[in-house]
Chains A and B, each alone.
Chain A
Amino acid sequence: MPSSRRGRLLVGGVLIAVLLSTLAGCGGYTKESIPPPYRKTVNLTLASTTSTQDTGLFDVLIPAFEKDNPAIKVKVVAVGSGEAIQMGKDGNADVLLVHSPADEVTFMQDDYGLTRKALMYNDFVVIGPASDPAHIKGSASAAAAFAKIADSASPFVSRGDASGTNSKELKIWKAAGLSPAPAKDPWYKVTGQGMGDSIKVADETGAYTLSDRGTYLKMRAAGATKAAVLVEGGKDLLNHYHVIVVRDARRLDAAKTFSSWITGPRGQAVIRDFGARDYGRPLFILEKSVGQEEDQ
């Protein structure tokens, strides 16, 4: 019977309404239960590189920063250095944490940046199969190792993604007086992908590659690669990070706050401790000139 069903529905509805109103009366929103005064939070966009994110640094750095600066929320966009710098130019990022000095200098010269401060460095390692077919182990520099790899036409994996690591690799080839390309050198493979993926390709194909130490250690610890460190410590294997405040940043004040926090004592402490527990050594080493502006 439709009419009685509707009647029952109505009664039920009223009952629920009454019940809800009493419940609301019981709980009651008092002024005290509203969360602490609404501060206007600012969303700061930090553009950095995949290799930095892959180390896990941001997982400890960002919470520490947000704890000290509760009014700022940081959104980390991890891309290749090339795109990170492009994001700065397009106004899609407020602050950059990158490691591609040549591109950074151009960025500053073109007046896209407000400040560029020295921060920290980590190092690159040449990794490859433990059997080391090109006999690069013990080479004095990365350039010497690369020359041996090219000489023996041993497989080498390049990221080819305009990342900081990639531009480092190209610089080493240049120093060795070589310019390999996949079209003429079949042993030279270009992935166009991040560090982790490129290490996997190298591992699978028994190839050498250049990696930042952090990503390599992490992959190695996770059992994702069996590749070994063959060349390390050369001067041409250092990787310098700078923090850049974008001149036209939409959240300029927050960007400045971040820049001075990370180069200040609190940021330095986080960086100094990072990785020491898991790998027995810090993954990043603070520059002696940390916090100093380097415009070119």
Chain B
Amino acid sequence: MNLGGLTLFTNAFRQGFQTLFHSAAAPVGSGGVDLLNIIFTSLRVSLLATVIALLIGIPAGYWLGTRRSIGRLAALAIANAGMGLPPTVAGLFVAMLLSRYGLFGPLSLLYTKTAIVIVQTVIATPVVAALVASGVAAVPAQLRLQVRSLGASHLQEIAATLREARLTMFAAVAAGFGAIISEVGAVTMVGGNLAGDTRVMTTAIVQFTRMGDYGPAIVLAVILLGIVLLVNVFITIEQVRDERYMKATRRARRIRPPQVGR
């Protein structure tokens, strides 16, 4: 092992954080590497895409998890397959659709932030839908019957079911967001890594590394790692809280056995 190689890391860290602080202190548009802008762009597009993916994925997942029909089976298979959808494939299709010579060419969306949000939504939605479906399917059907027998509206029934499946819901948010904020191929294809515009953390890391510019690359890598870690810490806290909640409900059930059932 080449222990002297450690200086590669220490030097990169020092140089990288200097760039970051310079980026924080310098007025907007003063040139240089604007790391903060890259970080904010990343968070903005990925959060927006996650929200849209949730808006589509939760209803879809609920339907997939509760309905019993052939169509549901087929749709569930598609959603599960979508979880394994290679992001670059999604990127290729979206790029071809948005291309100037493609179906949606007149909108001139290729190489814009909107294009990134679109492709990230395409990647995250099946993940959210499939996870929500499995969570909802795990909730006993009796619960829904019970809530409805207590006079709940359809919406309240859905809310009660989703609350029972809340742990999977959090996992869905984490998995969806985690998948897209760390994705690089599709984002490069449809975003183009344009400086000050569509450059996000992952594409910037690739670029800086390719340029032999390890400093900013490693700073972005550490921040990306921190964000992914933070999301998972949040999920773990929820998980622990949920375990306590489940224990409590189980205790309650023991006292008062379920009244609905066959």
Contacts of A79 in B (CB 8 A): 210, 212
Binds A, one of B26-34, B67-75, B248-256: B26-34
Residues from chain A with a CB closer than 8 A to the CB of B197 are: 182, 189
Q: How far in angstroms is the closest Cβ of chain A from B128?
A: 30
A197 vs B193: C-alpha distance in the bound complex, in angstroms? 10
**Contact segment of A58-66, A84-92, A115-123:** A84-92
Do residues B188 and A190 form an inter-chain contact, with CB atoms below 8 A? no
A82, A90, A203: which contacts B211 (Cβ < 8 A)?
A: A82
| B45 interface residue per 8 A CB criterion | no
Most buried by B among A86, A161, A197, A204: A204
Contact residues, B206-254 vs A (CB, 8 A): 207, 209-213
CB of B147, distance to nearest CB on chain A (Å): 52
Q: Is the CB of B100 within 8 A of A204?
A: yes
Q: Tell me, yes or no, whether B177 is within 8 Å of chain A by CB.
A: no
Contact status B193-A204, CB under 8 Å: no
Residues of A within 8 A of B99 (CB): 204
Cβ–Cβ contact B193 & A192, under 8 A: yes
Report if B172 contacts A (CB, 8 A).
no
Give A34 Cβ to nearest chain B Cβ, in Å.
36
A83/B195 contact (C-beta < 8 A), A183-B31, A204-B100, A204-B111 known: no
A83-128 contacts to B (CB < 8 Å): 83, 85-87, 90
Q: Residue B199 at the A interface, CB < 8 A?
A: yes
CB 8 Å contact bits of B80-102 with A (1 = contact, 0 = none): 00000000000000000001100
State which residues 82-136 of B face A: CB under 8 Å. Answer: 99-100, 108, 110-111
Instruction: Name the distance in Å between A185's Cβ and chain B's nearest Cβ.
Output: 10
Q: Are A192 and B212 in contact (CB under 8 A)?
A: no
Central interface residue in B29, B108, B197, B212, by most chain A CB within 10 Å = B212
Q: List B contacts of A246 (CB < 8 A).
A: none
Q: Distance in Å from the Cβ of A276 to the closest Cβ of chain B?
A: 31
Task: Encode A168-191 as 1/0 by CB contact (under 8 A) with B.
Answer: 000000000000011110000111
- Residue pair B211, A80 in contact (C-beta under 8 Å): yes
Please, which residues of chain B bring their CB within 8 A of the CB of A162?
211-213
* Structural contact, A183 and B212, CB atoms closer than 8 A: no
- How many Å lie between the Cα of A260 and that of B203 in the bound state? 38
Q: Which of chain B's residues 13-38 have a Cβ closer than 8 Å to chain A? A: 28-31, 34
- Decide if A255 is an interface residue (CB 8 Å cutoff): no
B193 touches A191 (CB 8 A): yes
Give every chain A residue within 8 A of B195 (Cβ-Cβ). 160, 182, 189-192
Q: A182, B194: Cβ atoms under 8 Å?
A: yes
A246 to B111, CA, bound (A): 39
Q: How far is the CA of A89 from the CA of B31 in the complex (A)?
A: 27
User: Measured between C-beta atoms, what is the minimum distance from B142 to chain A in Å?
Assistant: 45
If A182-B194, A201-B192 touch, whether A193 touches B207 (CB-CB below 8 Å) is: yes
- Given A181-B31, A183-B28, A204-B100: A85 touches B212 (CB 8 Å cut-off): yes
Known contacts A182-B196, A197-B192, A201-B194, A161 near B212 by CB under 8 Å: no
For A205, give its contact among B28, B30, B111, B188 (CB under 8 Å): B111
Sorted nearest first, the 10 A-B pairs with minimum C-beta distance are A86-B212, A190-B195, A183-B29, A83-B212, A192-B207, A182-B196, A82-B211, A162-B211, A182-B195, A192-B193
Between-chain CB contacts (< 8 Å), 29 pairs: A79-B212, A80-B210, A82-B212, A83-B210, A83-B211, A86-B212, A87-B212, A90-B8, A160-B195, A161-B207, A161-B210, A162-B211, A183-B30, A189-B111, A189-B194, A191-B192, A191-B194, A191-B195, A192-B195, A192-B203, A192-B204, A192-B207, A193-B207, A197-B192, A201-B192, A203-B100, A204-B100, A204-B110, A205-B111
Q: Which residues of A contact B (CB under 8 A)?
A: 79-80, 82-83, 85-87, 90, 160-162, 181-184, 189-193, 197, 201, 203-205
14 new A-B contacts at CB < 8 Å, known A161-B210, A183-B34: A85-B212, A161-B211, A162-B211, A162-B212, A162-B213, A181-B31, A182-B197, A183-B31, A190-B194, A192-B199, A193-B193, A193-B207, A197-B192, A204-B99
